[in-house]
């Protein structure tokens, strides 16, 4: 078996597969690229809405979250 290094197209393929897999589900985590977290690819920043509109903007955590690491 040959294992190669990841390429950008791998991330796109995984994202497309994940999007298709969860699209028919009425309940679950979503990602539309409008919620960001630092340098993380926005496709991997996911949210779930129980009521209201999907979140937009930069995700921030309280300083204690970073210190607990």
Whether the model clears a pTM of 0.75, i.e. scores above it, the answer is: no
Q: Is residue 61 part of a domain?
A: yes
| Domain housing 22 | 8-67
Q: Is residue 22 part of a domain?
A: yes
Our count of domains for the chain comes to 1
CB-CB contact of 55 with 47 (8 Å): yes
The tens place of each residue's pLDDT in the chain, 69 residues long, gives: 667 777 777 888 888 888 777 765 556 788 889 999 999 998 899 988 888 888 999 998 888 877 766
pLDDT of residue 27: 66
> From CA 19, how far away is CA 1, in angstroms rounded?
28
CB-CB contact of 23 with 33 (8 Å): no
Residue 59 neighbours by CB distance under 10 Å: 13
Residues 6+ apart with CB under 8 A from 35: 42, 45, 47, 54, 55, 56, 57, 59
pLDDT of residue 39: 93
Q: Is residue 54 part of a domain?
A: yes
């Amino acid at each position: 078996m040959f294992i190669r290094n990841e390429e950008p197209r791998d991330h796109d393929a995984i994202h497309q597969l994940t999007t298709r897999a969860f699209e028919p589900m009425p309940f679950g985590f979503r990602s539309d690229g409008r919620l960001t977290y630092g340098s993380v690819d926005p496709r991997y920043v996911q949210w779930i809405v129980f009521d209201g509109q999907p979140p937009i903007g930069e995700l921030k955590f309280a300083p204690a979250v970073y210190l607990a690491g």
